[in-house]
Structure 1
C-alpha cells in the first residue's frame, strides 16, 4: 500500500521562513532522485508521522508535488534533539521496478526461551541493522532472527540466517548478529566489586643544585 502526502513547493530557504514553516506544523524537505531535479518542498509533519507509522521506515510514499505524483522513500531526516520533532527530511524519488539498497532493522525472536539465557548467559547483539537490496515494494520493515535454540557460547552470523529472509543481503556473511556469552563466575563478580588499591607516592622535592647562587 502506498500512502499519499501533499508536498507544497517552497521558494525560500531563509532561516526565518523555515522557522515559520516548522511553527506552522510543516517540515522543510527536498525531493531528488529518479527523473527529478532537487525540488525544495514542505510537508505536513502530522501527515508524515502518521504515514511512517503505517508504511514503516522503508515504506514507499507517494508525494504530490505540484499535482504530480512521485514515488519516494524517506532517505534521510533530522530531528530536534530536545523535542524529537522533524527538522528536515530528504525524500528519494525511486523507480518502482529498479532495486535499491536499504537499511533494515533486526528483531530477535525467542530470546527469553534460549537455553543459554536460561542458564544465566547474556545475549549480545553487535548488529542492529543490515543492508539489503530489493525492489522498493519488497524491502522488509524488519528482519527476524530466531535465537530460541542458542546455547551458551553459540553465535549466529548473517550467513547462518539470511536464507530464511528471502531478500538479498549486501553485508558480509561472517558478520555476527547475535551471540550468548557465559555467565560470570563468582570469582569474576568478586573482582568487579574490589576497589583498586590506592597508591600514594611521595612528592618529589626539587631543591637547588649545589653550588648555585641567588642572583
Structure 2
C-alpha cells in the first residue's frame, strides 16, 4: 500500500485557546494513538491532508516531527466544520509491521458485465471493502471481475477473497448486481439456447403439424 508523509509539530498546550489559535493559523490539531506511549498531540498544515482525505485512494501515513522522530499510522477519524467543511481535528492510529490493522479498501470493477451488454444496469452496493491484514500486505485497491454477471445475478464479497487480508463482512454481503432495465436484449449465444425434445413440443405446435399431415393425405 502506498504511503504519504505528513510533517507535524508536537503540541505542548492542548487547551481551547491554543487549539483555536492553531486553526486561525491554518493548522489542524491532531492526535496519534496506539503504540506503547501515551497519545501524542501535534499539529500540521491543513494542506497536508489534500492527498489523504480528498481522494478515493487509501494510504498509510508517515508522520515526521522536527526532532527526527517518525511514526507509521493510518487515518482513524476526522472531524469537519458543519458549515465550511474545514478540517477541525484528525485522529491517527499508530501501526507496526507485525500487527494487523483494519482498513476500508476501495473496490475497482473489471470488465463489462454480460447482463449490462443485454440491457441490464450494474448497481453497486459497496464501494469500499473493510478488510484486516498487515499494512505492508494490504492492496491499494481490490479488483472485482464482473464480466460473467448476468441479469439478476449478484457478486458477493467471497468472490474477492485473498490470502493477504481477511474480509470483515458476512459472506452474503453483495458488492454489486445486475438489475433489469427497460431495454432488455435477448441473449443470442448458442450456449444459452436449449434444444426442445420432440416429446416436449408445446401441444399447439403438435396439433398444427398433425393438421398439415392430414391435409396432405387427403
TM-score past 0.5 threshold: yes
**Deviation digits for residues 16-70 of structure 1 (CA, Å, limit 9, x no counterpart):** 432321221211111110122112211122223246689x533232332754212
Q: CA deviation at 1:109?
A: 2.4
1:37: which partner in 2? 38
Map of 1:59 onto structure 2? 60
Question: Runs of 4+ in structure 1 displaced over 6 angstroms?
Answer: none
Cα offsets for 1:126-168 (capped at 9, x unmatched): 12222211111222232121213321111110112324x8432
Normalising by the residue count of structure 2, what TM-score does the alignment of the two structures yield?
0.71
d(CA) in 2 for partners of 1:155, 1:131: 19
Paired residues for 1:97-136 under 5 Å: 97-110=98-111, 113-136=112-135
Q: Which residue of 1 aligns with 2:70?
A: 69
2:22 equivalent in structure 1: 21
Q: Structure 1-normalised TM-score?
A: 0.72
5+ unaligned residues in a row in structure 1: which ranges?
187-215
- Whether the aligned pair in 2 keeps the contact of 1:8 and 1:66 (CA below 8 Å) is no
Give the distance between the partners of 1:84 and 1:140, measured in 2 at CA: 29
CA distance in structure 1 between the aligned counterparts of 2:127 and 2:58, rounded to whole angstroms: 15
Question: Counterparts of 1:36 and 1:145 in 2: how far apart (Å)?
Answer: 40
Count residues with an aligned counterpart: 181
Superposition CA RMSD, Å:
2.7
Structure 2: segments with no counterpart, 5+ residues: 185-218
Partner secondary structure for residue 14 of structure 2: coil
- Structure-2 change in CA distance of 1:109 and 1:77 (3 Å): same
Evaluate the alpha carbon distance shift between residue 4 and residue 178 of structure 1 in structure 2; reply closer, same or farther with a 3 A threshold.
closer
Hey, what does 2:169 align to over in structure 1? 171
- Aligned partners of 1:91 and 1:152: how far apart in 2? 43
Question: 1:138 matched to which residue of 2?
Answer: 137
Aligned match of 2:156: 157
Deviations 1:90-126 (A, max 9, x none): 011112221111121222223xx32211222121211
Cα contact 1:100–1:133 (8 A) shared by 2: yes
**Conservation of the 8 A alpha-carbon contact between 1:75 and 1:91:** yes
Quick one: distance in 2 between partners of 1:123 and 1:34? 43
Matched, 1:6 2:7: yes
